[in-house]
Amino acid sequence: MRPDGLAWGRIQGFETLFWLETGDEHKKKEEIEDITRKRWTKALAFCRETGVRLIYAQVSPDWVKKAALWAFKNLPEDIAVVIGNTRRFGILPTTI
């Protein structure tokens, strides 16, 4: 399981991993929630092991975003999740 995109750098002096996932519109709602939870857990575990902060981004159509949201529970304070819409090019996504 590999992310669609990765970026690594420093944000306000903290080493940070930006993990990007896109699409998933070809899957069923239950599959989206399950695979998002697995990806999220993998990204979080990696960051906990290495001491790196995490920004996890999901860019998908609205119905995929709604299904994926159920995977994010009890977010740690040093983690950000960004959800964006593939069809709203140029409009900044919001954080949850």
Summarize pLDDT for 75-96 with one digit per residue, the tens: 888 888 888 877 666 666 655 5
pLDDT value, residue 47: 92
Task: Say if 67 falls within a structural domain.
Answer: yes
Task: Say if 23 falls within a structural domain.
Answer: yes
Residue 66's pLDDT band, with cuts at 50, 70 and 90, is: confident
Task: Say if 96 falls within a structural domain.
Answer: no
Task: Say if 59 falls within a structural domain.
Answer: yes
Q: How many CA atoms lie within 13 A of 17 on its CB side?
A: 20
Range of the domain at 43: 5-31+38-91
Task: Say if 76 falls within a structural domain.
Answer: yes
Task: Say if 69 falls within a structural domain.
Answer: yes
Number of structural domains, the chain?
A: 1
Strand segments (E) across 1-96: 5-11, 14-22, 53-60, 79-85, 94-95
Query: Does position 69 have pLDDT exceeding 60, yes or no?
Result: yes
